[in-house]
Structure 1
Amino acid sequence: MKILHLIHKIQNRGAETFACQLANHQEKRGHNVKVFALFNGEANLPLDNEVFCLYAKERNRFLDFRAWKKLALIIKDFQPDIIQANAGDTLKYAIFSKKIFRWKQPVIFRNASEVGRYLKSPFQRHYNKYLYRNVNWVISVSEASKLDLLNHFPFINQHTTVIPVGIEKTKLDKPNLSEYKNAKNIVHVGGFSFEKNHEELLEIFKFVVERNLNAKLHLVGDGPLKSKIHSKVQSLGLEDSVIFYGFVDNPLDYIIAADVLVLPSIIEGLPGVLLEAMYCNTPVVAYNVGGIPEIVTSDTGLLIEKGDKKKFGESILEILDNPNRDQIANAHSIVLSKYTNDIISEKFIHLYQEILER
């Protein structure tokens, strides 16, 4: 089978990373796979082969005839059986290229978040309605993402399914944070964007550090709001307790060394970082948003209602004082049995075959 993956940008973000990992597994299973990014970037994505780029222009992303044509020429040359559009603007480019240049291959869209959160105007709703009317299938990352999609576009009901994100099996033998081995280490991994809710995380951490002066908060990631968060750290007087790392090649080195991983996001699909923490036997505390309650339950971690900063802080302190070993073991077992990429990639291939046989 020939598979063409579209990703939004050459950037270190969950959707792009998972698409490349998925492509690797599909290639290993004997399929011919290419990955094309709409927009250029400087990230080193985890793809065994080259990541190609359309060099689309972000300022023209609503009317980028040149990139639509370029995609059509790539499809004509490669002749893929399936085009999978992986989040971001990829569905837009795939559908308009297909409509204008009349190629026939089915388009699958991987819905990695909650689309309703981004529909702010009637124009956006009608625009997205057109796109979803012309897609062959939608793969949502969680049941919550699927339900959100169907709430806004119920006509897609017969053409959607859920396949979760997966993680890579890897050796866990390089724990970082050795210079903080005598501290209580709290780790957050995620880009500095409004969805990740860093400002509220700092308020939660302020509550924690006032009760455990030995606590340290390690922020792994980069993004447009990083300087703003730096300023808030200073305004809260947390300079000695919060450490910034920027983007790192292997966040597992930090996660495995943590006493707890925290995720107080306000929007999520199904965050792979929680699965990575469970794989590392690191306890988790997260807000009850998106698909998070599908993996964080009373058996696997601590789930907090969104906005309850006090409860979130108390839960962190609870784990720092007395981690629940049964939860940690259950979470690790579930990840190994359901959420590794060798298992997940097979689900994608089976769905492709079903679509092609229709």
Structure 2
Amino acid sequence: MKILQIIHKPQNRGAETFTCQLSSHLIAEGHRVKIVSIYDGNATLPGNFKIESLGGKLDAKFFDFAAWKKLNKIVLQYKPDMVQVNAGDSLKYTVFSKFVFRWNRPIVVRNASEVGQYIKSNIQKNINRFFYKNIRHVASVSEASKKDIKQLFPFLEDKISVIPIGLEPIHNIPKIDLGETRNIVHIGGFTFEKNHTGLIRIFENVFEKNGNVKLHLVGDGPLRSEIENLVRSKGLEKNVVFHGFVNNPLSYAASSELLVLPSIIEGLPGVILEAMYCKTPVIAYNVGGVSEVLNESSGYLITKGNEIDFANTINEILKCRPISKIEHAYQLVLNSYMNKEITRKFIKVYKTVVSQ
């Protein structure tokens, strides 16, 4: 098969990284893949793909004729069997291009979050209904994501599969020196979904009971300066470390005593699987598809918004390393969440879509 993958832009984010990893495995299975981005970007993504940009305009909300036309040209020249869209504005641009220029290729949407959490008005819902009316299939990252989009758009009920995110095998993950303190890590972009404000409150509670502890924040994003100001206002500068974007996030997970994820919106966070793979215990809020990998056997699931319970659980882990949970979580990832097997699930969906 020939697959055209559409991404938001070359950036070091989960959706784009996984798209490139999936594409590499598809090529290894004998398929052909081309990756196109809506917007320009300069990040280096896995697989050394030559990513062609549509040159989309960031300020063009609903009309970017030049980019739609360029995508139409790519579709006509490449002649893919199907087009897969992967988060950001990829669905919007792809559907508009198909609708305006009438190219005839099935669209598969990779749904990596909970769409309903972002739709706040009937206008937004109607616009998104138009987009999803023009696709062939949805690959949701979790049962929670599937349930969310099915409730929002019941007409998709027979067009949804659940295919989780996967990981690449890495042997001998190098550790880094984070100092003599007890180290907690959070890996993720500084966006409202990740709830860094709540995380700082949680850490403040932990710090009051355990002064020999540091919180390492790995990632970057639009809210970083706001969180830096919050940390300064609480006098926690020496105990909250901002690392920014790093090329080796697994090393930070492997070098910490636990990973925390108090997100308020999630699909199925790859960072949880990465920490499990590194044999690092995980504490997270019970949102989205988190409970599909994190349970009493594999980690610690906290009711959304219960910051006291979250902080107390951190202190429990710092006192006693949960060996049995760590091993169970590691085996879960090895058996169910590696990219080679995930790719085969995508291929099965592709074959069904193309044959319809």
TM-score for the superposition, normalised by structure 1: 0.98
Distance 1:353 1:64 in 2: 32
User: Residues 1-358 of structure 1 correspond to what in structure 2 (within 5 A)?
Assistant: 1-176=1-176, 178-180=177-179, 182-358=180-356
Question: Identity rate of aligned residues, in percent?
Answer: 51
Distance 2:251 2:55 in 1: 33
Distance 2:172 2:312 in 1: 29
- Aligned with 1:95: secondary structure? helix
Displacement of 1:61 in angstroms is 3.6
Distance 1:227 1:249 in 2: 21
Distance 1:229 1:46 in 2: 30
Displacement of 1:50 in angstroms is 1.4
Following superposition, which runs of at least 4 residues in structure 1 exceed 3 angstroms of deviation? none
CA deviations over 1:55-99 (Å, ceiling 9, x no partner): 110111411111111001001111111100011111111111111
- Aligned with 2:8: secondary structure? strand
Distance 1:49 1:99 in 2: 28
* Paired residues of 1:10 and 1:42 also in contact (CA < 8 A): yes
Letter in 2 for 1:275: L
Displacement of 1:173 in angstroms is 3.3
Q: Say how many residue pairs are matched.
A: 356
- Aligned with 1:83: secondary structure? strand
Letter in 2 for 1:26: L
Distance 1:69 1:51 in 2: 17
Letter in 2 for 1:209: F
* Paired residues of 2:182 and 2:212 also in contact (CA < 8 A): yes
Q: What is the RMSD computed on CA atoms of the aligned residues?
A: 0.9
Q: Which runs of 5+ in 1 are unaligned?
A: none
TM-score for the superposition, normalised by structure 2: 0.98
Distance 2:149 2:178 in 1: 45
Displacement of 1:179 in angstroms is 4.3
CA deviations over 1:140-197 (Å, ceiling 9, x no partner): 1111111110111001001111100111111233111x141x2111000000000000
* Paired residues of 1:172 and 1:256 also in contact (CA < 8 A): no
Distance 1:193 1:266 in 2: 11
Letter in 2 for 1:29: E
Letter in 2 for 1:53: S
CA deviations over 1:239-267 (Å, ceiling 9, x no partner): 11011110011100100001000000000
* Paired residues of 2:173 and 2:250 also in contact (CA < 8 A): no
